[in-house]
Chains A and B, each alone.
Chain A
């Protein structure tokens, strides 16, 4: 069974070319050719296609506005929300400042309680570790509970190559997997599919609907579709020997892992199989048990807009007589230390994957998750993916934003996404060897803006733009290059007859 469509690597490697880039401190970014952090097309091209898909836009618009309203209601219920948010931000900053020490402590605690800790430099190493662990149990199938980290590293494809079938068990992931599709939203990955499409996928792919005499009566009501998924997965849960999970949090001082979910598929995976393998990015730590009191309040309300999600499971190593008796924790770098090296950009590692920033983003609402090319879509994806891969491999993502700031306001750990976007844009522009028209324009603009006389000249020159507009409120989209690079995706207002400085000078007699 395939999982997500193969994505062509946008930058095929010349023989002997480096497998990954490095930052200025020499820290490697996530390797090319494995996993899902890079799209096969730049954001503007993918977005233009998505914008033509009316069904997708309708589904997305409905989804994001519904979740926004729910979130606003339950956040409004909490009188100390802002205090929790600031505590969450500070806790993450504190965690990052001592990340090495906390990881060593986590390892000590997990090991002391019967678990085994593995370290993976990158996607390939993590995939190899997990494949080896699964093979050691002698099984050729595993159940999986939603984990962004394992999507990021392309684990399902790696397992498949080793002859191991991975069953996604989250309803949305199952829809995506059976439909041979890619997730489009962190929280509701199948939001781009409606009930009729889901019914069709289930009837076509679930064994219970195949063969002579199978009862193919499946109305497209969500309840009936969910029950079909329950039947389909129940048997797989009961026979599974190995489960693979992600983790929402890990507590360094106690070695406790936490998974937050709704359906109970997480509990099935964390409880029934003999062996549990958890793959976790090294940034998911919190220092102390007490710190969870902040994040367990922030996450559900920001994410699904619930006071608390139906199920939160925590476990520490192995508990005799209860749950898996073998536990492996794989700690994944895959470019995270490169992000950590950037003093501005490292804040992106504070993300608790609630998806609130997606739901408030006007760009995401219209283009959907697929346009971002990476498993991390939306505003957080626009700052995280280019840092994990090196900005040269996801160069269009820092521009996939209008910088309106809604993401910052919604973020439960107050990540200043707009500032990181601007920072990455600057980095991208600087990094370009040959000067592009846009880079030249930004450079010229910044020079002009810092010299008043030049600025006035520039503004007067812009008056020429009025000729091109021929009285319409915006300039024609088809301007000659290099200006077309800008107007293709933006409405450029026709420059005013008179600039602000000119008007001021006229009305105030030259005083400025």
Chain B
């Protein structure tokens, strides 16, 4: 008896027959966005806010203080640093004192944390998207998923214009998560509700 694999492949060959068209794919869409970097950052902020994320901007030496302000915004003042989990590759200067570094504990235990702090791999201005790549700075996927508040630090050089530029910078085999605003649903009478299963609050710290 032929295997399902051989049979399905055989059916495809029968269906297509001898003559297979050579198809030229036109790639005359925009491959890059040539706008100046500062303009792209402004577009990113505009799009992030449009999708109900909060954005705080700061200089390179103010990241720690701005992350603290972001957590104030997300959790309310007086938050407990121990309830903040950080991806292992996040630089020490960004971290609140007393925050917990992700130590690879069973993923479901991360649900006990109130907030997460990570960096990103790349940010897409035109769509207001942050891409996390599972590396040390972005953290494993469950870290940015289970706690209800997510704070992401985006560095100036990480902002690109559109989707094609972003994909060129990424490793396709890494576990990628593209985040555009807090989780949301419009399933009930099409009324948008921010926050269902993913973090209900997204605060972005843009360093530039």
| A binding-site residues for B, Cβ under 8 Å | 25-28, 59, 62-63, 66-67, 79-80, 83-84, 86-87, 90-91, 93-94, 96-100, 103-104, 113, 118-121, 125, 169-172, 175, 188, 190-191, 194-195, 198, 222-223, 225-226, 229-230, 233-234, 237-239, 251, 254-256, 262-265, 267-268, 270-272, 282, 289-290, 292-294, 296-297, 300, 304, 306-317, 319, 321-323, 331, 333, 337-338, 340-341, 346
Contacts and interface: CB of A to CB of B under 8 A. Distances in A.
Nearest to A126: B4
A293 B23 contact: no
Contacts of B27: 87
Given A190-B187, A263-B184, A307 B8 contact: no
Given A195-B188, A225-B188, A316-B172, A294 B15 contact: no
B12 A99 contact: yes
15 contacts: A79-B30, A86-B26, A87-B25, A90-B25, A93-B23, A99-B16, A119-B8, A188-B187, A267-B145, A293-B163, A310-B182, A312-B176, A316-B175, A322-B141, A337-B12
A337 B104 CA distance: 44
A339 to B, nearest CB: 8
A230 B187 CA distance: 13
B107 A195 contact: no
Contacts of A222: 188-189, 191, 193
A323 B141 contact: yes
A234 B183 CA distance: 14
Contacts of B182: 310
Band of interface residues on B: 35 or more
Contact of B179 (A86, A310, A323): A310
B41 to A, nearest CB: 17
A323 B27 CA distance: 35
A282 B8 contact: yes
A99 B136 CA distance: 37
Nearest to B173: A316
Q: Is the interface of B mostly helix, strand, loop or mixed?
A: loop
Contact of A172 (B26, B128, B187): B187
B142 A306 contact: no
B190 A256 contact: no
Nearest to A224: B193
B9 A104 contact: yes
Nearest to A314: B176
Nearest to B162: A297
B186 A304 contact: yes
A27 B167 CA distance: 38
B194 to A, nearest CB: 9
Contact of A119 (B3, B29, B104, B186): B3
A234 B198 CA distance: 10
A230 B197 contact: yes
A254 B129 CA distance: 23
A94 B190 CA distance: 36
B110 to A, nearest CB: 10
B9 A100 contact: yes
A59 B4 CA distance: 43
Interface string B168-180: 1000111111111
